[in-house]
């Protein structure tokens, strides 16, 4: 099973020509089917860039990304990606149902098939009955659930999430963490999840990839051996704290090579 | 979700109606109180009665001018949308064209009215349509272009992740984003079109035209009749404006709070 990774990242380097910034350097990472991998690190460590390179929204300067044995470009053409951003990025002019249907329309699904799937997705994210609402009528947490439903509606091989809960309050965030895990387990999808929050990364993931800035590199990988399904109690498990500490140590160790103010911003960002 | 009943709408409009009625009453009262001469300012009641008694002349003249304004509005706005679309498709064109367009929009184009009359037959409606069209063109161009360029980068990124084609991104993201901008421009243009047609007629036109009528009324000091003509022009200008508003509400149904004025 793990012989054929869903994502294979080989020697990926990304240099932004403007300012000659090396956002990513020699990134190597394999992601197995059904994994939930978090990318964590301070601002400027390239975690969002890496996510976009995987999704073929940014081209790497060097190296290659393979998704299900195909190039990232081919994977994108084959609709292998579902993406969720920090903002829900909903279309104001569409109802909730029609927002979820956008990728299905692009795939050329029939009206009936779309309607059926949209209803299933609404149920999955517990928004049944809100299909005819407009995005502005929903709370931030509900909007993000619509966005997740849209990303999953066409069963993409890979779900890419860029700080999806970063703009939400702590309570909503923890609830959506649980919901996301339950969806992930139901669908068996593979997830790459960018976050600023150590506890969120440990709580959700099968593996936490810790990144460091300038140039963006992988500082270390922490496998998370907490059992699924994870619940509210998981957050109080001593092992949970050990793993959180392990991730924090990795972030801090990289901080030794930084200027004091950079370290401060790094740790602040990582909290 | 304030869809609102007819009653709510009435309450919403009540202050505006009250101000309007009060204004008319003050106008009427001031003329009696200060013995204002009729040629300076006729009474609203006189204007209203002339509006009715002069209907056989005024209303057809208004209709004639309205058709000029409408024609100019449609042609000018269509050209504005067309050029905006073209410019948005080819970015290089935009960088060359937009500064010129913005600079041109500062020119008081109405000053060209006599020249348009000279270029085109001053007695035909075409010359007035041309003035109205030129007045409508720039605001529609500039606003529509801004709308087409305002699409959220995230939304476009999302569409790319679904491997959507450029055409699909236009249809599903750029055009819907631009629509509120377009309608704002069309509302401005609807008012400008009527102004363009009437001012064009002030510089010469057929005797069946409202602008010509108002001007000749003023020359023979029949001010009440001129005011009634202005009333016709205002009502027609408003109807064009509200025509746009009605179309806007049919097209943009998604955000009641952004409808505003």
Report yes or no: B250 at the A interface, CB cutoff 8 Å.
no
- B6 Cα to chain A: minimum distance (Å): 22
Residue position matching structure tokens 């008012």: B191
B162 vs A93, A103, A137: nearest CB: A103
Domain for residue A2, yes or no?
A: no
Output the pLDDT for position B116.
84
Q: Scanning every residue of chain A, which has its alpha carbon at the shortest distance from the alpha carbon of B162?
A: A79
Best mutation target among B1, B162, B252 (most A Cβ atoms within 10 Å) is B162
- A144 Cα to chain B: minimum distance (Å): 14
Q: Which helix (H) or strand (E) holds A211?
A: strand A207-212
- B146 Cα to chain A: minimum distance (Å): 18
The interaxial angle of helices B44-53 and B55-89, nearest 10 deg, is 90
Between the alpha carbon of residue B61 and those of residues B58, B117, B202, B214, B239, the distances in Å are 5, 19, 13, 10, 16
Residues A109 and A117: beta-carbon distance below 8 Å = yes
- Sequential DSSP letters for A23-43: EEEEEEEEE-TT-EEEEE--T
Asked if the Cβ–Cβ distance from B172 to A91 is below 8 Å, we say yes
Report yes or no: A134 at the B interface, CB cutoff 8 Å.
yes
- A48 Cα to chain B: minimum distance (Å): 13
pLDDT tens-place string over residues A211-255: 998 888 999 999 999 888 898 889 999 999 999 999 999 988 765
B155 vs A77, A91, A137: nearest CB: A91
Residue A262 has pLDDT above 60, yes or no: no
pLDDT tens-place string over residues B231-252: 999 999 999 999 999 999 998 8
- Tally C-beta pairs within 8 A across A and B: 54
- B185 Cα to chain A: minimum distance (Å): 19
Asked if the Cβ–Cβ distance from B158 to A136 is below 8 Å, we say no
Residue B260 has pLDDT above 80, yes or no: no
Output the pLDDT for position A267.
52
> Where does residue B165 fall: left (phi above 0), alpha (psi -120 to 50 degrees), or beta otherwise?
beta
Report yes or no: A102 at the B interface, CB cutoff 8 Å.
yes
Domain for residue A217, yes or no?
A: yes
Domain for residue A169, yes or no?
A: yes
Residue A263 has pLDDT above 80, yes or no: no
What residues have CB less than 8 Å from B130, skipping those under 6 apart? B72, B116, B119, B120
C-alpha atoms less than 13 angstroms from C-alpha of B109 in its C-beta half-sphere: 23
Domain for residue A60, yes or no?
A: yes
Collapsing DSSP to helix, strand or coil, A66 comes out as strand
Residues A219, A239 within the same domain: yes
Indicate the class that CATH gives domain B44-258.
mainly alpha
pLDDT level of residue B144 (50, 70, 90 thresholds): very high
C-alpha atoms less than 13 angstroms from C-alpha of A44 in its C-beta half-sphere: 12
- What CA–CA distance (Å, rounded) separates B125 from B107? 24
Asked if the Cβ–Cβ distance from B172 to A55 is below 8 Å, we say no
* Mean pLDDT across chain A: 88
Domain for residue A65, yes or no?
A: yes
Computed from CA positions of residues B46, B52, B56, B59, in that sequence, does the dihedral angle turn out positive or negative?
A: positive
Between the alpha carbon of residue A255 and those of residues A219, A242, B197, the distances in Å are 11, 20, 71
- What CA–CA distance (Å, rounded) separates B212 from A173? 69
Residue B80 has pLDDT above 90, yes or no: yes
Output the pLDDT for position B110.
80
- What CA–CA distance (Å, rounded) separates A263 from A130? 45
Strands across the sheet containing A21-31: A21-31, A7-16, A62-67, A70-71
Supply the CATH number for residue A257's domain: 3.40.50.300
Residues A54, A93 within the same domain: no
Instruction: Give the other-Cβ count within 10 Å of A69's Cβ.
Output: 11
Q: Scanning every residue of chain A, which has its alpha carbon at the shortest distance from the alpha carbon of B167?
A: A106
Q: Which of B219, B197, B223, B221 is nearest to B210 (CA)?
A: B197
C-alpha atoms less than 13 angstroms from C-alpha of A68 in its C-beta half-sphere: 17
Single pTM value for the model: 0.81
Domain for residue A43, yes or no?
A: yes
User: In sequence order, which ranges of A125-225 are alpha helices (DSSP H)?
Assistant: 140-152, 170-187, 198-204
Residues A27, A138 within the same domain: no
Domain of residue A102 covers 89-155
pLDDT tens-place string over residues B32-72: 898 888 778 899 999 999 999 989 999 999 999 999 999 99
Report yes or no: B91 at the A interface, CB cutoff 8 Å.
no
Residues A61, A168 within the same domain: yes
Domain for residue A207, yes or no?
A: yes
The β-bridge partners of A212 are A217
Residue position matching structure tokens 């510089």: B203
Output the pLDDT for position B1.
43
Output the pLDDT for position A271.
43
How many domains does chain A contain in total? 2
Taking contacts as CB-CB distances below 8 angstroms, the residues of chain B near A78 are 163
């Amino acid at each position: 099973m793990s012989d054929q990774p869903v994502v294979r990242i080989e020697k990926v380097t990304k240099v932004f020509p403007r300012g000659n910034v090396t956002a990513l350097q020699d990134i190597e990472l394999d992601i197995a089917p059904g994994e939930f991998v978090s990318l964590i690190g301070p601002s400027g460590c390239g975690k969002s860039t890496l996510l976009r390179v995987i999704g073929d929204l940014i081209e790497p300067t060097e190296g290659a990304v393979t998704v299900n044995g195909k190039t990232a470009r081919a994977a994108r053409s084959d609709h292998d990606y579902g993406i969720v951003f920090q903002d829900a990025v909903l279309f104001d002019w569409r109802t909730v149902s029609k927002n979820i249907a956008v990728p299905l329309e692009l795939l050329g699904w029939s009206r009936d098939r779309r309607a059926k799937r949209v209803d299933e997705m609404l149920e999955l994210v517990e928004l049944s009955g809100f299909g005819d609402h407009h995005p502005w009528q929903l709370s931030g947490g509900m909007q993000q659930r619509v966005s997740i439903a849209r990303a999953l509606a066409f069963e993409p091989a890979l779900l890419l999430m860029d700080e999806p809960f970063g703009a939400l309050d702590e309570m909503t965030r923890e609830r959506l963490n649980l919901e996301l895990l339950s969806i992930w387990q139901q669908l068996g999808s593979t997830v790459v999840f960018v976050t600023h929050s150590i506890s969120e990364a440990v709580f959700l993931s099968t593996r936490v990839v810790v990144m460091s800035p300038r140039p963006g590199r992988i500082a270390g990988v922490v496998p998370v051996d907490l059992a699924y399904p994870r619940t509210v109690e998981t957050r109080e498990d001593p092992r949970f704290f050990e793993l959180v500490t392990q991730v924090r140590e990795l972030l801090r160790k990289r901080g030794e090579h930084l200027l004091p103010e950079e370290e401060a911003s790094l740790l602040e960002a990582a909290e | 979700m304030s869809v609102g009943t007819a009653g709510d709408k009435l309450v919403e409009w009540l202050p505006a109606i009250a101000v309007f009625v009060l204004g008319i009453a003050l106008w009427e009262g001031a003329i009696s109180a200060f013995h204002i001469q009729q040629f300076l300012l006729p009474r609203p009641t006189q204007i209203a009665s002339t509006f009715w008694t002069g209907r056989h002349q005024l209303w057809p003249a208004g209709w004639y001018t309205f058709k000029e304004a409408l024609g100019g509005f449609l042609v000018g706005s269509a050209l504005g949308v067309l050029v905006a679309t073209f410019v948005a498709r080819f970015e290089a064109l935009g960088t060359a064209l937009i500064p010129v367009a913005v600079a041109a929009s500062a020119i008081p184009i109405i000053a060209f009215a006599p020249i348009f009359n000279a270029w085109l037959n001053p007695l035909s409606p075409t010359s007035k349509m041309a003035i109205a069209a030129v007045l409508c063109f720039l605001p529609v161009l500039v606003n529509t272009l801004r709308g087409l360029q305002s699409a959220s980068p995230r939304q476009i990124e999302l569409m790319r992740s679904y491997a959507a084609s450029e055409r699909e991104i236009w249809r599903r993201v750029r055009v819907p984003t631009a629509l509120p901008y377009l309608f704002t421009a069309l509302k401005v243009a609807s008012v400008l079109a009527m102004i363009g047609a009437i001012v064009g007629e002030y510089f010469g036109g057929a005797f069946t035209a409202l602008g010509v009528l108002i001007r000749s009324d003023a020359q023979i000091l029949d001010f009440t009749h001129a005011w009634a003509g202005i009333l016709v022009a205002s009502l027609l200008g408003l109807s064009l404006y509200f025509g746009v508003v009605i179309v806007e509400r049919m097209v943009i149904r998604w955000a009641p709070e952004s409808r505003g004025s």
